[in-house]
């Protein structure tokens, strides 16, 4: 019983560390021009995020970690940063 508790604890710790590392690895851009060089359609928090501005030329890349690192660039707060 103690072994299974220890194994579960180690697995939970490993999951927490990996999610923190993923967030730390997400690149933060200084402005939308820089972000759009890598992601033409911008970055969405999830694939189900809807654009408030209507039609866009490019589909946004969906990544929660990347969106969270660049949340300051989402001026209209529609969960898509730098959509175009």
Give the domain ranges of the chain: 2-81
Provide the β-strand partners of residue 34. none
Q: How far apart are CA 29 and CA 76, in angstroms?
A: 17
pLDDT for residue 22: 52
Buried b (16+ CB within 10 A) or exposed e, 6-18: eeeeeeeeeeeee
pLDDT for residue 55: 83
For 18-32, what is the mean pLDDT?
Answer: 74
pLDDT for residue 43: 97
- Judged by phi (left if over 0) then psi (alpha if -120 to 50, else beta), residue 77 lies in left
> 26-74, pLDDT tens digit by residue?
999 999 999 999 999 999 999 999 988 888 899 999 999 999 999 999 9
Query: Hunting for tokens 């940063």 — which residue is that?
Result: 81
Q: Is the pTM of this model over 0.85?
A: no
């Amino acid at each position: 019983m103690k072994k299974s508790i220890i194994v579960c604890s180690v697995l939970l710790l490993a999951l927490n560390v990996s999610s923190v590392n993923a967030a730390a690895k997400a690149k933060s851009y200084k402005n939308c021009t820089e972000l759009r060089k890598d992601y033409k359609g911008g970055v969405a928090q999830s694939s189900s995020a809807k654009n408030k501005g209507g039609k866009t030329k490019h589909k946004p890349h969906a990544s929660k970690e990347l969106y969270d690192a660049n949340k300051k660039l989402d001026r209209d707060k529609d969960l898509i940063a730098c959509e175009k």
